[in-house]
A and B are shown apart, each in its own frame.
Chain A
Amino acid sequence: MKLTPDDIQQIHSYLAQHGLTTREVRADVLDHICTLLEQESDELDLATAKAFIETTFPPEVIQQIQADTLYYLTLKSKTNMLKLIFTTGYIAICLLILGICFSNYPMGSEFIFYWAPYLSVAGVVIFCFGFLPSLFMYSYQRFLERVKQ
């Protein structure tokens, strides 16, 4: 089947309309569909071609391609974000516990008493400026993904 620019534009609109918003993947899928149709018989009419596209690439498949692309592309950043959340959370809690314990440690030396408040402050700073922002950012990204789906 020979595809006209108008046919290609219609396929493009069909993909965009059903949620394939990532430009690069849309270009790939568009080329894939066009190649598939070109392999078909020359006698294939537009109505049959449309039905063929809707069967091979129903809206749910298109949405799945988009969702999978986003998943794969953001997998690394999500993993890094989770690592940051857990690391900052762990360090902040450790510092806070150490700070509280050292400031009340009956056998503590002057050196420990001197550093105890700094440990607590460092714990609070990491908690407020490391743990909480990364947690909020991660939760916000998850929320946006859910809304888009």
Chain B
Amino acid sequence: MYSKELLKGTLKPLILKILSDKEEMYGYQIVQTLKEVTGGQILVREGSLYPILHSLKAEGILSCRSVFLGERERKYYSITEPGKASVKAALEELKNFVELLQSVITPLPSTIP
């Protein structure tokens, strides 16, 4: 399990990546998929997931479709057409950040005095 601080900034792009791979998903599915993909190393807490999903929806990056299952409502989230550009940018930013961290953590042999 990774620390909360490490996950904090990466959760949004990770959720977007998972959503971009599927047409639409509901909250529980996102949590489970992330758990499966990372071998249980990243566990998204519901407390973090739903506020992020709703903020992405408010920003217009996600849209949601409600399905009523008897007494309860299930919301399927999907990436909107204009939101696709934001997803691409967020993933690119994360990728560059990871590369930068990599270069700091493991410097090239020639740069070591």
User: Which residues of A pack against B, CB within 8 Å?
Assistant: 5, 8-9, 22, 24-25, 27-32, 34-36, 57, 61, 64-65, 68-69, 71-73, 75-76
Contact = CB atoms under 8 A, between A and B. Distances in A.
B28 A31 contact: yes
User: Across chains A and B, which 4 residue pairs bring their CB atoms closest together, nearest first?
Assistant: A72-B55, A68-B51, A69-B51, A8-B71
A8 B70 CA distance: 10
A71 B71 contact: no
A144 B71 CA distance: 33
A76 B61 CA distance: 14
Contacts of A73: 51, 54-55, 58
A61 B46 CA distance: 9
B28 A36 contact: yes
**How extensive is the interface on chain B, given as a class?**
20 to 34
Interface of B: 26-28, 31, 45-48, 50-55, 58-59, 66, 69-75
Contacts of B75: 24, 27-28, 31
B39 to A, nearest CB: 19
A72 B54 contact: yes
B28 A72 contact: no
A67 to B, nearest CB: 9
Contacts of B26: 31
Contacts of A36: 28
Query: In the complex, which of the residues A9, A24, A71, A75 has the most CB atoms of chain B within 10 Å of its own CB atom?
Result: A24
